[in-house]
Amino acid sequence: MAPEKQLNPSYRWVILAINFIICAMAYAGLTMWGMASTDLASTFNITPVQASLGAALLMAGYAVGSYVEANLTSKVGYRGAGLLGLVLMTIGTIGIPMAGNYNLILLLRFLQGWGILWLVGVNSSVAWFPAKQRGLASGVIGGGLTLGIGCGGWVATVLMAAAGTWQGAFRIWGIILCVSTIIWALLMKEPPKGLYPEDAAHSVSSGPQKKINPFATAACWLCILILFFNCWQLIGFNSIVANYLKDVGFTAAQASTVVLLAGLIGVASTPIGGAISDRLVQKGWKPLKARAFTTAVPGFLVAAVATAIFPFLAQISFGVACLMALFVGWGVPVTNATSGALPMDLLQNEDAAGRMFGANILVGIGGGGILAPIIAAALAESMGWTACFMVLAAGAAAGTVISLILPRFKLEH
């Protein structure tokens, strides 16, 4: 019968696969925009800064959509909340080439952002897995986001070559997203209760928890800043790197390859970041300290150094640009492997940690994702590419410092 099939633990791999793929496809919209922005700017006679608003509005939709979807999940389930986001993303993608003015395109980009199902994808996948494999599930979904960032530039190049125009590329991609949304909706199932009795046996209720207002804690705002600077470097870099490379003489195909490599390395660095953190815990580090150190050093610090030297080395040759992209793309995805667990580590309260995580996405990712593309494009236009990359690197450096001091703000009960 259907209930028995639904309770099959092996189905967790189907859930993980469809969430990985749909998250990768949704995040590809960020770098697709970067590759198409030059042609789009010519079509609507807008400046590079105005064109960058498209990336900013996608991230705004991502932040607001994630917050709404988080609140809808308890009412309509992961499938219902995720389907809302995917439908709006498909409408936005198909509608963009039909829009007659740029303001309408920005509204459609906002709708596109609702389909980035990081929150729904991670939470639904983790709920399907036993406790000992939940770190793996979370890391795989995070890897899907970075894969999407990398593939977006390549997908845009291929589709624009096939269709001949940026409008044609968006139409084709919209059809692909529509089909993918239908497949996701058919395969997605809510995580069943009691799937792993051994986990329930080890779950001990400690009675009613003390009511905590996470927004009154320094830890909450420091975590928001960590996600802010995560987006500051990652979204900022990926929104301008293709135009920088084309500006210094690389072809569109070469630029899309560099963007692809910067994203693909994150597919590896995200689970490796989790493994580094786990290894430190095995060596006797406290979990919070291990996660904060992993976020700071192999994460933000690597990103800061690589981003700062990128404009000096990348223009030497295509090979050097590809190598530098691997270093730049390595850092911030490492922080994705650890930052999701920080709220619970800091507050030791499940309800407060959940509300804090929602705020992290809304304010941290929303703020960083919205501001980074606009400020990066404005700096490149007014002060040059070097200043632009330096400011992005400074954000990653700030993330390093904040991560290192974070364990001092653990809430004591």
Q: Which domain holds residue 158?
A: 8-192
Q: Could you tell me the CATH number of the domain that includes residue 95?
A: 1.20.1250.20
Q: Are residues 248 and 120 in the same domain?
A: no
What domain count does the chain have?
Answer: 2
- Residue 301 C-beta-side C-alpha neighbours within 13 Å: 12
Find out whether 15 and 189 touch, Cβ atoms under 8 Å: yes
Confidence of residue 244 (pLDDT cuts 50, 70, 90): very high
91: nearest Cα among 202, 178, 24 = 178
Q: What is the pLDDT of residues 293-327, one digit of tens each?
A: 999 999 999 999 999 999 999 999 999 999 999 99
Q: Are residues 186 and 263 in the same domain?
A: no
Q: What is the pLDDT of residues 87-110, one digit of tens each?
A: 999 999 999 999 988 999 999 999
Q: Are residues 15 and 137 in the same domain?
A: yes
Residue 131 DSSP code: G
| Exposure b/e, 269-304, CB count within 10 A at least 16 = b | bbbbbbebbbebeeeebebbbbbbbbbbbbbbbbbb
Confidence of residue 182 (pLDDT cuts 50, 70, 90): very high
Q: Are residues 176 and 294 in the same domain?
A: no
Query: Which of 162, 192, 222 is the last residue before a domain boundary?
Result: 192
Of 39-43, 311-315, 328-332, 349-353, which range is least confident? 349-353
186 within domain boundaries = yes
Confidence of residue 278 (pLDDT cuts 50, 70, 90): confident
Give the mean pLDDT of the chain.
Answer: 86
Query: Which of 192, 224, 241 is the last residue before a domain boundary?
Result: 192
Query: Which residue is listed with tokens 């450096």?
Result: 397
- Mean pLDDT, residues 228-233: 94
Q: Are residues 159 and 222 in the same domain?
A: no
Confidence of residue 41 (pLDDT cuts 50, 70, 90): confident
